[in-house]
Structure formats: structure tokens, C-alpha cells
Structure 1
Amino acid sequence: MEFTLKESVEYGVIGVLVLMSIVSFWATFERLLFYKYIKLVLYENKTELELDLSRNLTLIATIGSNAPYIGLLGTVFGIILTFVQIGQSGNIDTSSIMTGLALALQATAGGLLVAIPAIIFYNLLLRKCEVLIAQWEIMQEKKQNGNKEL
């Protein structure tokens, strides 16, 4: 079986998007488990807590913001290769043009399918991070007020 340049580009872009999706889901589940089992009482320093809570959030945000561009890049390559194929054959067949363009747009759809959940997960995890920091601050405030009364 011989791969054409167009198939290589399509599989390459889809492969990168699948990899980005897997990494995004892994990072999300890792954070959810970390947030579920974190012991706020073990943290004396707010900066240390913030560093631990925000780990991997940048990775999820980066995937969410760049996945559409990877998909768009695949679409652009697909369109270019479709036009090259048409130019080389000299045959202007509407069905082959539309099929080539439709297949090229799959990459953009794939990029959006990766980006949308990643951005949703990022926002949910960021909110959970903010809530945990607020809970830590309340706990620290209660601890200080308790020491003043003694």
C-alpha cells in the first residue's frame, strides 16, 4: 500500500490532534485526582500551594488554544494538495474538488473537537484551583484568629 503526500499530511495532522487530545485528558484527570485528595493543612506557604495546584494547567490551556491552529494547518495543506492534484491532472472535475476540500476540512473539525473540551476542562480546573486557594486562606485566617484568642 503506497501512501500519497496528501494521506501522509492527513494522518500526520490527525495523529498530532489525537496525541494532543490524549495528553489533555490525561492532564485533566491527573489534576482532578490531585484536587480530590489534596490536604490543604499540609501547606504553610500560599505560593507553594498555588504552584502545586496550577501544575499542568498551562499544558491544558496550550492544547486548547493551539489545537484549532493544528487543524487549520491540516486544512490548508489539504487544500493546497487538492489544487496541486487538479493542476497536475489538468482535469477540472467538480466532484474531485469538493471531495478534496471536504476531506481537508476534517482537520479543522478535529482541531475544534480537541480544543473545545480542553478549554472547558481548563476553565473548570482553574475555578477548582481558585476555590481550593480560598479554602486555604479561610483556614489560615481561622488558625490566626484561634492563636490570638489564646
Structure 2
Amino acid sequence: MEENMLAYAEVALDYGVMGLLILMSIVTLWLFIERMMFYATVDVQKYEHRDTLEMELTDNISVISAIGSNAPYVGLLGTVIGIMLTFYTMGDVGAIDAKKIMVGLALALKATAMGLIVAMPAIVAYTILLRKVEKILTVFDVVQDKKASI
């Protein structure tokens, strides 16, 4: 009975943490593509106020930033839980099998690696989007200066 619970916990950890990290990466990719498509079609001349334009340009990019910031923590949580399960298994069995310990720890560390794999592209995407926002806002300022000088 206890072995079944432990196996269930390992499977839940794997699917839960990895599933959440995969979901985070899909959301990041989806929002990045959506923002890039919006930036390609934005017409700065239809905006009267810079703040209105900036609010529309920065929609959802904070979500990408939050994912980039928190994905390593989700991975770390998976690693900590995986290590706890490994130690629990060691203590429950009573005998120390180095192979099982190393395999358990290696599998636990994959959650941290996955968290980093999700975080790095998210931060790159966020930086790219911020730069696009800056460029579009600069174009807006130039257009407004031209209108003012006419």
C-alpha cells in the first residue's frame, strides 16, 4: 500500500511539475506570437495619447516576465519534492542502494533543468518584446513631433 502511494507521488510529481512547466512554455510561446503579430499591425497614427498606445503594447508581456521569473522555482520545487521522495524511499527500505539513490536524485534534478529550459527563452522573449515596445513608442513620438511642427 505504501509503495503504491510512493509510486503515485512520483508519477504525480513528474506529470504535475513537468506538465505545469510545459504549460508555462506554451503560454509564453502563444503570448510572444500574439504580441509580435499585434506589433506588426499596430498603427501609431490612430492613437492620440502615448499612454494609451503603451498600455496596448504592453498587454500580456508581464505574464511572460512572470513565467520567466517563476519557472526555475517550479522546477526547484519539483527537485525538492523528488529528493524528499528519494530519501523517503531510502529510509523506508532500510538498505542503502547507491544505484537507486543516484537514479532518484538524477530524476529529481530534471525538474530544475526543465524549469531553466522554460525560463531562459521566456526572458529572451520578454526582452525582445520590450525592445519592440520601445521602438514603436519612439515612432509614435516622432509622428507626434511631426504633427506638432506642422
TM-score, normalized by length of structure 2?
0.95
Give the Cα–Cα distance (whole angstroms) in 1 for the partners of residues 149 and 126 of structure 2: 35
Number of equivalenced pairs: 145
Amino acid at match of 2:114: G
Amino acid at match of 1:97: I
Please name the residue that 1:77 is paired with.
81
Give the Cα–Cα distance (whole angstroms) in 2 for the partners of residues 86 and 34 of structure 1: 53
How big is the alpha-carbon RMSD for the aligned residues of Structure 1 and Structure 2?
0.8
Give the Cα–Cα distance (whole angstroms) in 1 for the partners of residues 104 and 11 of structure 2: 11
Within the candidate set 39, 42, 47, 2:43 is matched to: 39
Name stretches of at least 5 consecutive residues in structure 1 with no aligned partner.
Answer: none
Q: 1:7 deviation in Å?
A: 1.6
TM-score, normalized by length of structure 1?
0.95
Amino acid at match of 1:11: Y
Secondary structure of the structure 1 residue equivalent to 2:141: helix
Q: 1:10 deviation in Å?
A: 1.6
Please name the residue that 1:87 is paired with.
91
Give the Cα–Cα distance (whole angstroms) in 1 for the partners of residues 80 and 20 of structure 2: 16
Q: 1:100 deviation in Å?
A: 0.1
Give the Cα–Cα distance (whole angstroms) in 1 for the partners of residues 25 and 37 of structure 2: 18
Q: 1:20 deviation in Å?
A: 0.4
Stretches of 4+ moved more than 2 A in 1?
none
Within the candidate set 134, 144, 147, 1:143 is matched to: 147
Query: Quick check: 1:6 aligned with 2:10?
Result: yes
Please name the residue that 1:60 is paired with.
64
Which deviations, in whole Å up to 9, do the C-alpha atoms of 1:79-138 show, x marking residues without a partner?
000000010000100000000000000000100010000000000000000010010000
Q: 1:6 deviation in Å?
A: 1.3
Which deviations, in whole Å up to 9, do the C-alpha atoms of 1:22-55 show, x marking residues without a partner?
0000000000000001111110011100000000
Give the Cα–Cα distance (whole angstroms) in 2 for the partners of residues 42 and 101 of structure 1: 57
Name stretches of at least 5 consecutive residues in structure 2 with no aligned partner.
Answer: none
